[in-house]
A and B are shown apart, each in its own frame.
Chain A
Amino acid sequence: MTEPLLRVRDLRTYFVTERGAGTARAVDGVSFDIFPGETLGIVGESGCGKTVTSLSILRLIPEPPGHIRPGSFIEFEGRNLLTLAPKELRAIRGNKIAMIFQEPMTSLNPVFSVGDQIAEAAIVHQGLSRKAARARASEMLKLVGIPDPEERVDHYPHQLSGGMRQRVMIAMALVCHPQLLIADEPTTALDVTIQAQILELLDRLQAELGMAVMLITHDLGVVAGTVDRVVVMYAGQVVEAAPTKGLFARPAHPYTEGLMAAVPRLDAPRARLHAIPGQVPAATAWPAGCRFHPRCPFAWEKCRVEEPPLFDTGVPGHAARCWLVTEPARRTAKA
C-alpha cells in the first residue's frame, strides 16, 4: 500500500476548564491514517471530539484553554505538524491542508466581496497580483458551480443563499489545490436538497483535483454515499474503524450499531426511530472501563472495570474498541 498522506498517532487535546472543574479530555488518544486521494469519514455524536480532532490537525485550537499533549503526533509529508514553527505551519494551512467550516452563514467576512475572500489564500500563498487573483476567484466560482461567476465575484456574502455561501467556502478552500481537505460538517446547516448538491460537488471536485478528503459528520447517511473508510469516534476515542462497506455490513461496536439504527429508513415506515439511551458524558469525567458501557445494551462486569483496546476484528482494516470482539457469544446470547 502507498504511504499515508496524513498520519495521526495518539492525539490528545485537553482543555483546562475554569474554576477547577477539571481537565476536559476532548480528544484522548486518537490514531488514524488518511491516504492520498481517499475520503475518510469521521462519525460520532456532538461532543465526542470530531471537531477538536480536525482543529488540532491545523493547530487552530485556542490556547489557552486548550493544549495538545506532548506525545501526540501528526505527520504530514514526513513532518510533524505539532512541532512546526508558526511560519511553516501557515505555509501549510490553506495551501496543502484546507478546511471548510460548519456554518456558511458566519464563516465569511461580511465586509469583503466573495471574490476578495476566495482570492485571499492565493494572494497569501502564491503571491498573485490583484488582477490575477480576481480572475482565479471567478474561475473557482465557476468550478464550484455558481452561475454568472464574473458577476458573483463582486457580491457580498449577505447577497448569497446558504448553499451558495457553502460553495464559496469550498472555493476558498480549494484555491491552492490542497492535498487534503478537511470538511467539518459541511452540510449540517443546509437543507436536504442543497446537502445532496454540496456532497455531489465535493465528490466531483475530489475526482477532478485528486485530493484526499476528511469528512466529519454525525450523519451516517452522508457517510454511506460518499466515503471510502469510516472512523467512528466516541468520548474522545476511536471506537471503530473500517472500510465503509464492511462497517455497514457488520458493525462490530454496539455504538456504531446504535448510530445505524438511529438513521430513519424508507423501507420500514412504521418502526419507531431508535435512539441510543442517555447522552455523551462530560469530557471532564469519562466513565471508567469502556467509555460506552453506561449506554451499552451488552455491557457486563468487565466493561465497567477494564478499558478495551482497539481489537482487530479479523476482517482486514476493520478494528473495534469493544470486549465483544473477544467474546462474540455474549452478543448472540442477548439477542
Chain B
Amino acid sequence: MTPRTWLALLAALTVAIAAVALLRRRAARTPAGREFFRHPPAAPGLAVLGFFAIVAIGARLVAPYHPAAQLDIVGLQNQAPSWAHPLGTDTFSRDTWSRLVFGARISLAVGALAMLVAVTVGSIVGAMAGYFRRWVDAVLMRTVDVGLAIPRLFLLLMIAALWEGLPLPVLVLLIGLTGWFGTSRLVRAEVLSVRERDFVAAARALGAGPARVIFRHVLPNAAAPIIVSAALGIGNVLLLEAGLSFLGIGVQPPLPSWGNMIGDGWRQLAVAPWATLFPGLAIAVVVMALNAVGDALRDALDPRREVT
C-alpha cells in the first residue's frame, strides 16, 4: 500500500467522525435529536456507517489495487497481512483490502437499493390496504400472508436458478420484491390510525382525491415506523445478499461483494483465514451499526412522545 492510500483511509476516518460530531451538536437543538444521541451506541454506529459509505464512494482512492487484479498468482498466493497488503491476499493473489473496499460498494448499494424497493412497495401496498379497507384490504393482506408463508431463500434460489449469472439490478429487484411483506403490515396498521384523524377528514372536505390524501396527509404522518423498519431492514438485506453470494447465486464474480468474498475464501480457511475473516467482520460490524442506529431512531421518532 502506498502512503497515498493510507492518507485517504485516514481522511475517510476523520471525515466520518467529524461529521458525526457535527451532527450531534446540531441535533442537540431538537428533542428528537437529543433522544437519538441519548443511546450510547448511536454515535459510534453512525460513524461506522459513515466511514463505510465514504470508503465505498471513494473506493478508487482508498484501494491500492484493482479488486479483480491477480497480482502474482505464484508469489502472492494466500499471503498473511503485511504492510504491503494490510489484510493479506487470497488464493488468487488478489489484495483482500482492495476487494473489501470495492465489495463495500456493491454490498451497501445492493442493501440500500433493495430496501428502497421493499419500503416503496410495502408503503404503497400498506397505505392502500389501510386507507381503502374493505375488499382492497382483504385482497392485499391475504397476498401478504401468502408472501410471508413462502420461505424467502428458497423462492430466491428458485428464481435465480432460471438465470445464468444474475445481473445486479435483477438481484436488487428480487431481494426488494420479496422483502416488503412485513413493511406493508406495519404501514397498514399505522395508516389505519392516521386515517381517522381530523385533518384527513378536513383534506377530504377540501376536495382532495384519494391519491393526494394518501401521499400528502396519511403517509407523511406514518413515516416514523417506515424509517425505523427500513434502517433495521437494511441489515437483514445485507445478510441475505451475503448468504446468496456465498451460495454463488448472488453477486457474480469477478465483482466483489462481502458475501462472495467469504464464498471464495472458505476453502482456504485453514491456510488463509484473513480472506474470509475480514469480510465477515465487515458484515457483522455494519449490521450491528445499522441495528444501533435503527434502535435509536425508533426511540427518537416514537410518535407517542410529544413532539413540541
Contact = CB atoms under 8 A, between A and B. Distances in A.
Contact of B205 (A99, A103, A109): A99
Contacts of B221: 109-111
Interface residues of B, number: 20
Interface in A94-110: 94-95, 98-99, 101, 103, 106-110
A124 B202 contact: no
A106 B199 contact: yes
Contacts of A169: 202
A98 B307 CA distance: 30
Interface stretch (A85-93, A144-152, A227-235, A300-308): A85-93
Nearest to A92: B207
24 contacts: A60-B204, A90-B207, A90-B209, A93-B204, A93-B205, A98-B206, A101-B201, A101-B202, A103-B198, A106-B197, A106-B199, A107-B202, A109-B217, A109-B220, A110-B221, A110-B307, A112-B216, A112-B220, A120-B203, A120-B208, A124-B212, A125-B207, A172-B202, A173-B206
A107 B202 CA distance: 6
A108 B202 contact: yes
A106 B198 contact: yes
B2 interface: no
A158 interface: yes
Interface string B159-178: 00000000000000000000
Contacts of A94: 205-208
A86 to B, nearest CB: 8
A98 B198 CA distance: 15
Contacts of B212: 124
A158 B30 CA distance: 15
A58 interface: yes
Contact of B199 (A95, A109, A124, A158): A109
Contacts of A110: 199, 221, 307
Contact of A172 (B201, B206, B216): B206
B137 to A, nearest CB: 13
B82 interface: no
Contacts, number: 68
A108 B205 contact: no
B198 A121 contact: no
Interface in A156-180: 158, 169, 172-173
A52 B221 CA distance: 26
Which of A98, A124, A173 has its CB near the most chain B CB atoms (within 10 A)? Answer: A124
B207 A93 contact: yes
Interface of A: 58, 60, 64, 90-95, 98-99, 101, 103, 106-112, 120-121, 124-125, 158, 169, 172-173
Contacts of A173: 206
**5 closest pairs, A vs B, by CB?**
A94-B206, A94-B207, A93-B207, A107-B198, A106-B198
A98 B199 contact: no
Nearest to A169: B202
B39 to A, nearest CB: 24
Interface string B219-243: 0110000000000000000000000
Interface string B128-143: 0000001000000000
Nearest to B208: A124
B201 to A, nearest CB: 6
Contact of A120 (B201, B206, B220, B307): B206
A305 B307 CA distance: 56
Contact of A58 (B198, B205, B208): B205
Contacts of A99: 202, 205
Interface in B186-218: 197-199, 201-209, 212, 216-217
A159 to B, nearest CB: 10
Contacts of B205: 58, 60, 93-94, 98-99, 101
A219 to B, nearest CB: 21
A101 B198 contact: yes
Contacts of A64: 134
A108 B199 contact: yes
A38 to B, nearest CB: 21
